Amino acid sequence: MPLLVTGTIGIDTVETPTASVEQVSGGSCAYFAVAAAFHHSPVRVVGVVGGDWPAEHEKLLRSVSGLCLDGLEKRPDSKTFAWGGRYFDNMNDRETLFTELGVLEEEPPEIPYLYQDSRMIFLANSHPSIQLDLLDKFPDRTLAVADTMDLWINIANDELHVLLQQLDGFIINDSEAEMITGISDPIAAGQKILELGPSFVIVKKGEYGSVLVDKDNTSVLPAFPLAIEDVIDPTGAGDSFAGGFMGYIATVNEINFEEMKTAMAWGTVTASFTLQSFGLDGLVKASKDAIKSRMLEFTEFAK
């Protein structure tokens, strides 16, 4: 089942309690696509970068097998999306230092003709009106799932609620679920979001794992148990989780709650590689075998 993703391809600046880096490769779409490609290919990317997109970021993305980058548009006179964040001592909570929208303030990218038959759509973090615009172009889709972020809940809440009505699934973190619903309990917040449109919701709780709810069922999964010294940079872990989840879902014959639980485990394991380095490097350098063997370990752990 062809899987398409749109979102940001960004230049990140990240500060943790022990280190900081500038100009590393990131963006919601980039993390998602690399993670999904471990499980399903091709992953069709729709995104825009500016003339300042570093050549080494492009080289890294092009080195990933299983990605189709025909829908990646370069605009030489524009600025690439850039984001800076700082993690607090627990490495779970963070604050955004800056967000430079750049190309996100321009026209959305063209969808290549060969992407027209895409049926599974993931709308990684981006402006909800860009997410809606893309969804409109795929009326024959079988599955539409999205993510969002505090910035969009703050500045584009109306568009976000229109988007929610059109989604099959929604994957967000616990603080965003609380912003949307006013409910701090992740299961209750997920159930409340079901009333806004999606038929399933996943609420991520960082080092405390994730929960999946649909109208009849609830499932709770722990995070992969990484030692604290192995957690280098959590940036992109949420997008990588979504990539692992959707990449697996794209391979199943029938999407049901049991398959979604398995997909969550693949998402969890895939995201654990992102935590182990700054930028996309850790995930790009992971191998399918390493992901599979960590999945076996995780299955034992989560029993």
- Among 43, 46, 203, 237, the residue binding ligand AMP under the rule CB under 6 A is 237
Q: Are 1 and 120 in contact, with CB atoms under 8 Å apart?
A: yes
The identity of residue 101, as a single letter, is L
- Count the residues of the shown chain that bind ligand AMP, applying the rule CB under 6 A: 17
> Which C-beta is closer to ligand AMP: that of 2 or that of 265?
265
- Among 78, 80, 125, 268, the residue binding ligand AMP under the rule CB under 6 A is 125
- Among 78, 118, 126, 210, the residue binding ligand AMP under the rule CB under 6 A is 126
Q: For residue 75, list its beta bridge partners.
A: 50
In angstroms, what CA-CA distances link 113 with 118, 145, 222?
10, 22, 41
Residues in the chain: 303
Q: How many Cα atoms sit within 13 Å of 42 on the Cβ side? A: 14
Looking only at residues 251 through 280 of this chain, which bind ligand AMP when binding is defined by CB under 6 A? none
> Which C-beta is closer to ligand AMP: that of 38 or that of 83?
83
* CA–CA distance, 19 with 121 (Å, rounded to integer): 35
In angstroms, what CA-CA distances link 100 with 8, 14, 124?
11, 14, 17
- Among 2, 10, 71, 169, the residue binding ligand AMP under the rule CB under 6 A is 10
Contact letters (x/-) for ligand AMP, 63-82, by CB under 6 A?
Answer: --------------------
Looking only at residues 146 through 175 of this chain, which bind ligand AMP when binding is defined by CB under 6 A? 149, 151
Minimum separation from the CB atom of position 254 to ligand AMP (A): 28
28 forms part of the interface with ligand AMP (CB under 6 A) = yes
Looking only at residues 164 through 223 of this chain, which bind ligand AMP when binding is defined by CB under 6 A? none
- Among 2, 26, 102, 198, the residue binding ligand AMP under the rule CB under 6 A is 26
Contact letters (x/-) for ligand AMP, 91-110, by CB under 6 A?
Answer: --------x-----------
238 forms part of the interface with ligand AMP (CB under 6 A) = yes
83 forms part of the interface with ligand AMP (CB under 6 A) = yes
282 forms part of the interface with ligand AMP (CB under 6 A) = no
Q: Are 244 and 35 in contact, with CB atoms under 8 Å apart?
A: yes
In angstroms, what CA-CA distances link 250 with 29, 38, 115, 130?
17, 12, 15, 23
Tracing tokens 């703050």 back to the chain, one arrives at 154
**Residues 167-176 as b or e (16 or more Cβ within 10 Å = b):** bbbbbbbbbb
Tracing tokens 């809940």 back to the chain, one arrives at 153
Residues that bind ligand AMP (CB under 6 A): 8, 10, 12, 26-28, 83, 99, 125-126, 149, 151, 235-239
